[in-house]
Amino acid sequence: MAAPQDFENELQQQVAERIALMEEPGYEFPAALTRADWRAIVIIPIVSLCLLVAGAFL
Amino acid sequence: MSKQTMAEYVNQETIFGLVPVKKSERQYGFWDTLLVTSGFAIATWCYSQGALSAGYLDFPQLIIVTFAMGGLFLAIECLPVIFAVRYGIDLWVYLRAVLGVNGVKVFATVVILGNWFWYAVAANMFGSSIAQICAGFGLVIPPDVVNWISVISVIGGSLIALAGPGAIKWTSRIMVTALIAIGVIVFALCFTIVPFSDIASYKPDLASLDVDAAQAYALAAEGMVAFSFSWSTQAIVLPRLCRTERAGYWGTFAGYAVVAPFFVFIGGIMAIVMYVSTGVYVSDPTVMLATLGPSVALLSLMLVAFANIGTQAVGSYVNDLVLKAAWPKVSYRTLVWLSCIYVSVLTLSGEVTANFGQFISIAAYIQGPIIGIMFVDYIILRRRRFSLKALYFQKGHDAYRFPGGVNWVGVACILVTLAVALIFVYNPITGAIKSPLFCVFTGSGFTALLGGVLYYALTKIPSIRAVALRDRDDLEIA
């Protein structure tokens, strides 16, 4: 079993490597949510809440 | 896999769970995310959840509560998927900014202790399915012995978790296949035994529960809020591997808010069909399977038994990797055995299954305030931007370092919320409804709301806001 110190060292090394990679000028982050996605994220809870309120009076 | 290789593998897995995932490591699109998430979500406890709801609701209300509660809360709970995909980090890494690194250790552990309640339910269902199979052959097993048989699934699942990733992969395949087969059998049974009109006109017997219609609706809603919250702290593991935010968000949302509730809905229908056809309300899915479908009872009960061993195995692997990340000095093997003992005790007592609704609310009470605080912190306070370097305490990036490793603002919000909800709204330990607020917000829903409001109010105080937003000049990676 690897010692906890080895674990910490490897973790820190991997983190540093990955952050450095993300800082490179050409690094492409994954495509972001679109405006339509955000609309749906707002509308779905509102519609669900309305249904839940209606359900209480059935 | 040798002991040494297994230990190394667990270390690699734990490290991979903690570090930001690189773009080249992302494999999942929408359908991959949906399928894997659904496989994780559709355990046999979905049927217990459905039976709980059916005890309080008529058919139209059952549909609304089962699906709309997920639509309301999971749309919000899944918001961390956005940063999980973008930066490839897990929720617990981000929560270092909100709770502090030691606060995360404590709350990750407490949340998992609460999550194990669900696994005790699955284990008891294993024992119950074996008892039903034996009863089919004329052998009646006493309840105490059934509880000990239930523990076999906990030990079996833990041994599979110790065997490593190869065993987990195969177990997952068998488990998901078994669970889908059970779902098909139950669905076919439900809609062939009694006419649909009988299901649609079903009314629960609220007089025997000593609650009025509003309280019954709120108690069923509380159950589904707790069900929705139960995914919140594990739901962000997989989206780190997604190629786009859209695939990650909607794949995760659909798995937990559509597919899992569909299996809850089937469980609810099964309880209604059982009540309509026998006049007895039963919440144990294995009893329902044995009663409603004698021709397929043996097959379906064996599938339930195997699926529950698989659920324990996958749960043990996932939850103990989270614990390993929080407590790296404790070996994975030790964590698996400690978890095994804890779940075995819960299983032997039978208390979780007997008081299912209350126990899942206890687990949700811990997660509710974290969800509310996360929403306010990530969306309103930080406006979806934080310091990746500070989350990993890189040299010179100290925005999320707190005295003693605890951000007392976030922790205080959780503790105050829990106290207020327990005293003034709903006490899941006793099952006592404390005020009409419960019928408006439910207990767990109230914890999410109050946790968020408290955090918002505290971070309006200039001195606290200044500390919370120390990261504003450290947003190099965006």
Query: What are B183-236's pLDDT values in tens digits?
Result: 888 888 888 888 999 999 999 989 888 899 999 999 999 999 999 998 887 777
For residue B248, the chain A residues in CB contact (below 8 A) are: 30
Smallest CA–CA distance, residue A28 to chain B, in Å, is 8
Contact A56 B214 (CB under 8 A): yes
Which residues, listed in sequence order, are joined to residue B433 by a DSSP beta bridge?
B426
Q: Check if the beta carbon of residue B105 is closer than 8 Å to that of residue B399.
A: no
Q: Which domains does chain B have, with CATH numbers?
A: 3-19+28-354 (1.10.4160.10)
Looking at the partner chain, which of A2, A23, A30 has a beta carbon nearest the beta carbon of B85?
A30
Q: Is the pLDDT of residue B12 over 80?
A: no
Its domain, for residue A9, covers 4-56
Exposure string of B357-368, with b = 16+ CB inside 10 Å and e = fewer, is bbbbbbbbbbbb
pLDDT band at B478 (very low <50, low <70, confident <90, very high): low
Would the pLDDT of B24 be above 50? yes
Instruction: Write the residue in B11, B72, B250 that is nearest to A2 by C-beta.
Output: B11
Q: Is the dihedral of CA B1, B242, B258, B110 positive or negative?
A: positive
Q: Min CA distance, B245 vs chain A (Å)?
A: 5
Residue A26 in contact with partner chain B when CB distance is under 8 A:
no
User: What confidence tier does B448 reach under pLDDT thresholds 50, 70, 90?
Assistant: very high
Residues of B in contact with A14 (CB under 8 A): 15, 19
Under a CB-based contact definition with an 8 Å cutoff, are residues B161 and B316 in contact?
yes
Residue pLDDT, tens place only, B293-341 = 777 778 888 888 888 898 898 889 888 888 887 887 888 899 999 999 9
Q: Mean pLDDT across the stretch B450-469? A: 97
- Count of positions (residues) in chain B: 478
CB contact under 8 A, B394 and A19: yes
pLDDT of residue B152: 95
In chain A, which residue's Cα lies nearest the Cα of B243?
A30
Which of B4, B60, B72 has its CB closest to that of A45?
B72
Give tens-digit pLDDT for B234-291: 777 788 889 999 999 999 999 999 999 999 999 999 899 989 988 888 878 888 888 8
Confidence of residue A4 (pLDDT cuts 50, 70, 90): low
In DSSP notation, B32-84 reads HHHHHHHHHH--THHHHHHHHHHTT--HHHHHHHHHHHHHHHHHHHTTHHHHH
| Residues 385-444 in B contacting A (C-alpha not used; CB under 8 Å) | 388-389, 392, 394
pLDDT of A1 > 50? The answer is: no
Nearest CA in chain A to B333: A1
pLDDT at B70 over 60: yes
How many beta-carbon pairs under 8 angstroms link A with B?
117
Could you read off the pLDDT of B366-379 as tens digits, one per residue? 999 999 999 999 99
* Residue bearing tokens 């639509």: B71
Q: Minimal Cα–Cα distance from A2 to chain B, Å?
A: 7
Residue B389's pLDDT is 93
Of A1, A11, A41, the CB nearest to B19: A11
Q: What percent of chain B has pLDDT over 70?
A: 99
C-alpha distances in angstroms, B372 versus A13, B47, B238, B422? 33, 28, 22, 17
Whole-number Å distance between alpha carbons of B203 and B55: 9
B116 within 8 A of B273, measured Cβ to Cβ: no
- Interface mutation vs chain B, best among A43, A52, A53, A57, most B CBs within 10 Å: A52
Q: Is the pLDDT of residue B1 over 70?
A: no
Kindly state the tokens that stand for B328: 């790296």
Asked if B405 contacts B397 with a C-beta cutoff of 8 angstroms, the reply is no
Sequence-ordered strand ranges (E) for B408-448: 426-427, 432-433
Report yes or no: A29 at the B interface, CB cutoff 8 Å: yes
The answer to whether B87 contacts chain A (CB < 8 Å) is: yes
Q: What is the pLDDT of residue B177?
A: 84
For tokens 């692997």, what's the residue?
A: B317
pLDDT of residue B8: 75
Q: Which residues of A touch B250 (CB under 8 A)?
A: 37
Average pLDDT score over residue span B383-403: 93
Say if B163 is an interface residue toward chain A (CB within 8 Å).
no
pLDDT at residue B52 above 80? yes
Task: List CB contacts (< 8 A) between B388 and chain A.
Answer: 19, 22
Number of Cβ within 10 Å of residue B469's Cβ equals 13
How much is the pLDDT for A23? Answer: 87
How far apart are the two ends of chain B, measured CA to CA in Å? 41
- Closest B-chain CA to A40: B75
Query: What residues in B contact A9, CB-CB < 8 Å?
Result: none
Total domains present in chain A: 1
Mean pLDDT of A28-51: 96
Residue B345 has pLDDT above 90, yes or no: yes
Averaged pLDDT of chain B = 90
